[in-house]
A and B are shown apart, each in its own frame.
Chain A
Amino acid sequence: MGNVVTPAILHALLKGAVLSVELSLLTYGLALLFGLVAALMRRSRTLVVRGLARFYIELFRGTPALVQIFFAYFATPQIFTWLNRLVFSPLSGGRVLLPPHLSPFAAAVLALSLGYGAYLAEVIRAGIDSIHKGQVEAAASLGLGGRDIMRFVVIPPAIRLMIPPFGNYALALLKDSSLASTISVVELTLSTERAISYNYQPAMMWAAAAVIYLVLSMVGSFLFSYLEVVADPLRRRRRKPMTQLATTDEEVGG
């Protein structure tokens, strides 16, 4: 048992964990963007735009993340070749615009962010739809325009409602980032596998990997709990009585 946990193995695991976090953060950011665009498209007045959004959401919610990752990594070289030959090359006078393939990391980010974007689109849509119609009517009757109604009346309470499901999907994504190991992204899961091939300690190493995922999840979980407090005006005030009192006094004085 002398060389079970060498500095090199520890280093490899931590490097893997860092890559898992990077992959998850980048993917989640893009997923929020895709989700927002798809949610707005679903509220469009144009049938085609709504239909496109619906198609995207159903396609990505209805297929396994692993299939999406394999498609992004193994199918894109073939598709890129066709596109280069049939579309981009004739249009640009013989230049090849698309790369021969995506890097494993890029393919994982692309597939997971599109997949999670589909889920987040539904969270965003549900959040916006859940705002009481009466508040929108009250704002309209005060003469506020559509943009102001969105900005001041609809979005702030909608975001408050979206935070818990946003948190759920963030944790699910962190765990699904392990699927990237299948296309040779050396994140935490793959670095664990490789470490085991050096020290032959699967029980300990998989337990270690699980603990690292758990710790990362708990950090995420606390972060979203904190966001919930920040987004709730009443709870925010109870947690921070001093700062709130200070601003209150200032406003009364001014």
Chain B
Amino acid sequence: MTGEDGGPLISLEAVQKQFGSFRALRGVDLEVARGEVVVVIGPSGSGKSTLIRCINGLEKHDGGTIVVDGIEIKGSADLAAIRREVGMVFQQFNLFPEMTVLRNVTLAPTRVRGATRKLAEDIARRLLDRVGILEQAHKYPEELSGGQQQRVAIARALAMEPKVMLFDEPTSALDPEMINEVLDVMKDLASQGMTMIVVTHEMGFAREVADRVLFMDGGRVIETGPPEHFFHNPTEDRTKLFLSKILRH
């Protein structure tokens, strides 16, 4: 287990991804340490989502290497091992509509980790309590608001006790008044030492929570640095242009 010795938890080297003739990732290098919170920003089509989707193999990268917790993503066997360690939260929540909130959270622990129903439900109740929706445990996803659904999705991912959590624009599909309840849960996670990679347009969150901000454009990492440097003294012109567009008001 090379990942246990204080080396990076996630390490990407020259990762490439192509969709037909479109080059979504043109050689991305990235190292994420244990407990680090990396926020990825950039214009749409810049490769942000593709980048994190490659980290748990939802997209298969075409070149370079991806190592998560000492396991390199190559075949499907590695993928199964990696997906047990990597949680993911999606823009559209993607809860299972036929299952109660509680079952959404217990499904993977019982089927993948072999937990008993009792143990899985105890864990699920603790997590639902932590994200503030324990009283909704027996409702179905469509009975919940978007913010509540996204918090269930976070609890569902946490139930697998992942070493890293990936967030793919977790608040982009939410009504404005629900964004904060989700960001608060994410802040709480970060403060408890969870390793996180967050694709988001929430600059306030990036400023407050990120250890490091990564700016991507055209399938490349243009600039990376701690948020204070990133937002106040960006060095690259493309970063300045992007920030001027989104921070104007």
Contact = CB atoms under 8 A, between A and B. Distances in A.
Q: Do A and B belong to a common assembly?
A: yes
Interface of A: 132, 134-135, 137-145, 148, 152-153, 156-157, 160, 233-234, 248, 251-252, 254
Contacts of B107: 142, 144, 152
12 contacts: A132-B92, A141-B56, A141-B83, A141-B88, A142-B112, A143-B83, A143-B160, A160-B98, A233-B99, A233-B140, A252-B138, A254-B121
Given A157-B98, A234-B143, A138 B111 contact: no
B58 interface: yes
A153 B80 CA distance: 17
A148 B58 contact: no
B25 interface: no
A141 B58 contact: yes
Given A144-B111, A153-B96, A254-B118, A138 B84 contact: no
Nearest to A234: B140
Contact of A142 (B121, B138, B156): B156
A109 B111 CA distance: 41
Contacts of B94: 132, 134-135, 137-138
Interface string B94-138: 111111101000011001100000100100000000000000001
A169 B138 CA distance: 35
A145 B56 contact: no
B87 interface: yes
**4 closest residue pairs by CB, A with B:** A138-B94, A142-B108, A134-B94, A141-B88
Nearest to B85: A143
A234 B111 contact: no
A233 B141 CA distance: 11
Determine the main DSSP class of A at the interface with B.
helix
Contact of B84 (A134, A143, A152): A143
Nearest to A249: B138
B58 A140 contact: yes
Contacts of B80: 143, 145
Given A152-B96, A152-B107, A254-B118, A138 B83 contact: no
Contacts of A135: 94-97
Interface of B: 56, 58, 80, 83-84, 86-88, 90, 92, 94-100, 102, 107-108, 111-112, 118, 121, 138, 140, 142-143, 153, 156-157, 160
B167 to A, nearest CB: 12
A141 B96 contact: no
From A138, A141, A254, name the one whose CB has the most chain B CB atoms within 10 angstroms.
A141
Contacts of A141: 56, 58, 83, 86-88, 157
A145 B84 CA distance: 11
B98 A144 contact: no
Nearest to A156: B98
A152 B86 CA distance: 21
Contacts of A140: 58, 83
B143 A138 contact: no
Nearest to B117: A254
A83 B185 CA distance: 71
Contacts of B88: 138, 141
Given A160-B98, A233-B140, A248-B138, A142 B92 contact: no
Contacts of A134: 90, 92, 94
Contacts of B121: 251, 254
